[in-house]
Amino acid sequence: MTANDQRTEAVYIHIPFCTNKCFYCDFNSYVLKDQPVMDYLRALDKEMELTVQANPPGRIKSIFVGGGTPTVLKPNEMEYFLESVKRHFPEWSDGIEFSMEANPGTTDLEKLSVMRQGGVNRISFGVQAFQNTLLTSIGRIHDTDDVYRSLDNARRAGFDNMSIDLMFGLPNQTLDMLAESVDKALELELPHYSIYSLKVEENTLFHTMYQRNQLPLPDEEDELNMYLLLMERMKAAGYKQYEISNFAKPGFESRHNMTYWRNEDYYGLGAGAHGYVGRQRHVNIKGVNPYNEAANKGLPRLESFEISREEAMEDFLMVGLRVLDGVSRSRFREQFGISMEEVFAGPLNKMVGAGLLDATEDGYKLSSKGILFGNDVFGEFIGSLTAN
């Protein structure tokens, strides 16, 4: 089956509004105050309409609403938005995963009930840490009480598939603080956890502080020990590490994220969203008002570009190796009509030789050492075919 003969089954939708901007965040997000929210939701409705006209969808197996903070929408705005999604993507697979990101400070019972009634069946809460001092120091608006209240409200609204995000490598964070956060997270007995290391991105407050030498980050050894600790704790608690930063009970792996890691097609809708359909990537216009104006005239594209076969092969390896089960030789051949070894003999042999990749029955996966140095492995495949 080639990239072009299957209808798209995954949808990403971007809600770019936040109550405030976290100090580490470089996502396309804007402080909510005075934003034309309903105009944006109407523009999004228009983009959905034009998108499905151009590329009719298959039966949708995953929808992911990210941001920003989608849960800053008021209940009536949320209702309008979810009705819009259902109208343009009416055919859902039986086991659809419909996820929405949430900030624990923005989820009351009424809003969560509207979400559940509108088809959302999975929530990902951005918790980040269980120390209030740490939360304040990274610009989060919630505290730990909000976390417990939000999870309780979500359960009352009928949600049982929930995930929380934690972060490590934060300024002034110690190994003990991370251990406490992981313990408190595990006490919640949720089916899924995402745990990310801080990356200091340009155009963030943290980047400015870093350049001024005012960001007290843990050193490399401490950060490595944090990662080892959380892998060990999650495994002991019965969670499978199925991707570099993600841990789940069996059957609760994020289906939407697996779409990205398997390099499969997905619609990308909303300001600044990226999409990948029929081996063509696009990036949408970022600003809220420019996006609104553009969507009312046509597809609100900043740029669209064809992905060459070589680049698609590189992406297959680069994103596929993030998943700890690894990349499949048979899926590669099915997609590209050629063997993986024929194309990537050099980097594969080099990484196996360095002990960073292990050969499997049907391909390759990160070794236990490779998990710790994943970026080095992925880097081997970037541009290995397209550099010339």
Q: What is the pLDDT of residue 25?
A: 77
How many angstroms separate the CA atoms of 154 and 160, rounded?
8
Rounded to two decimals, the pTM is 0.94
CA distance readout (Å), 186 to 131, 196, 249, 320? 15, 16, 12, 27
pLDDT of the residue at 198: 81
Give the pLDDT confidence of 33-73 residue by residue, as tens digits: 889 999 999 999 999 999 999 999 999 999 999 998 999 99
Domain layout of the chain by residue ranges: 10-262, 309-380
Cα separation, 215 vs 209, in Å, equals: 6
Write down the architecture of domain 309-380 according to CATH: Orthogonal Bundle (1.10)
Mean of all residue pLDDT scores within the chain: 92
Q: 3-35 pLDDT, tens per residue?
A: 445 799 999 999 999 988 777 777 788 888 889
Confidence of residue 2 (pLDDT cuts 50, 70, 90): very low
List, for residues 177-213, the tens digit of each pLDDT value: 999 999 999 999 999 999 998 887 888 888 888 788 8
Residue ranges in 219-284 assigned as alpha helix (H): 220-236, 255-261
Separation of alpha carbons 253 and 256, rounded Å: 9
Exposure of 2 by Cβ count < 10 A (0-12 exposed, 13-18 middle, 19+ buried)?
A: exposed
Q: How far apart are CA 15 and CA 101, in angstroms?
A: 10
* Mean pLDDT score, 309-321: 94
Sign of CA dihedral 138, 143, 148, 150: negative
> Distance between CA 227 and CA 242 in Å, rounded?
15
CA distances from 224 to 63, 86, 129, 144, 168 (A): 33, 43, 18, 26, 10
**β-strands 10-15, 60-67: how paired?**
parallel
DSSP string for 52-78: HHHS---SEEEEEEEES-GGGS-HHHH
Contacts for 267 with CB less than 8 Å, ≥ 6 apart:
8, 10, 11, 12, 51, 55, 57, 275, 277
R_g of the chain, CA atoms, integer Å: 21
CA distance linking residue 292 with residue 45, whole number of Å: 10
Superfamily, domain 10-262: Aldolase class I (3.20.20.70)
